[in-house]
Amino acid sequence: MSESITVSWSTVDARLSEASVQVDKLSNHDLILRCQTGLRPDRAAFAELLRRYQSQVDRVLYHLAPDWSDRADLAQEVWIRVYRNIHRLQEPSKFRGWLSRIATNLFYDELRKRKRVVSPVSLDAPRSVDDGEMDWEIAGDTPGPEEELTTREFYEQLRDAIADLPEVFRTTIVLREIEGMAYEEIAEITGVSLGTVKSRIARARARLQSQLQPYLGS
């Protein structure tokens, strides 16, 4: 990975406190424009972007690499890449998707370097999707001991089922089901056609439904 930059992005320097009072009132669009002005991004504006989007980076990396102990280092590397390349972002409105693409690309860069198989996705809970194509909720009101055991088994089976998916399917499932991104955004991030994205998600859902059918509510 790249060498760390000197500034610690987890905290804002006291010298920026006055500026931060101003930047926290700016829109995301204006923050990005500030970061694109000059030879280097405006530090106060960049720190505010990090504050607003750090949880997104952490979430993407967590679901892609739940067993990696160095996710904090990866998150810092994501922001280093953002800092160095934000001037190349031509449409500030697409910053969120661009940020997810950087995090996803970094994960696969590291995965290739490590040359080992990992379980790349872990879901905290079953997930329902608004388009009605898949429902991961387990039926029941107040779970008893048997239901709780079934739920734990479901989580384990879900993790294993997603881990068995081909890499391209895992990526689209994370971006769709975890990040809640539109198909068009996923197509842009992954660099494939909209039809390919829909096909991959449909095939991944069908495979997961088949493997998890005993645990899915009717």
pLDDT tens for 135-193 read 444 444 455 544 454 556 766 777 777 777 887 888 888 788 777 788 998 888 888 89
Would you state the pLDDT for residue 118? 44
* Token duo for residue 204: 């991944």
The residue written with tokens 């539109």 in the block is: 182
| 3-class state of residue 181 by DSSP | coil
Would you state the pLDDT for residue 137? 47
Would you state the pLDDT for residue 8? 52
Cα separation, 175 vs 181, in Å, equals 6
Side chain identity, residue 73: D
Would you state the pLDDT for residue 17? 46
Would you state the pLDDT for residue 18? 45
CATH of span 23-117 = 1.10.1740.10
Side chain identity, residue 75: A
Would you state the pLDDT for residue 217? 58
Would you state the pLDDT for residue 188? 82
Would you state the pLDDT for residue 51? 95
pTM above 0.85, yes or no: no
Q: Give the chain's residues under pLDDT 70.
A: 1-21, 115-152, 154-155, 215-218
Its CATH class, for the domain covering 141-217, is mainly alpha
By the 8 A CB rule, do 103 and 57 touch? Answer: yes
Q: Which residues contact 52 (CB under 8 A, 6 or more apart)?
A: 28
By the 8 A CB rule, do 96 and 182 touch? Answer: no
For the chain, the domains span 23-117, 141-217
Cα-based distances in Å from 130 to 24, 48, 203: 32, 31, 18
Cα separation, 132 vs 89, in Å, equals 34
The residue written with tokens 């920026």 in the block is: 16
How many of the other CB atoms lie within 10 Å of CB of 64? Answer: 26
| 3-class state of residue 53 by DSSP | helix
* Token duo for residue 17: 């406190």
Would you state the pLDDT for residue 9? 47
Would you state the pLDDT for residue 111? 77
Would you state the pLDDT for residue 139? 44
Asked if the domains at 23-117 and 141-217 fall in one CATH topology, the answer is no
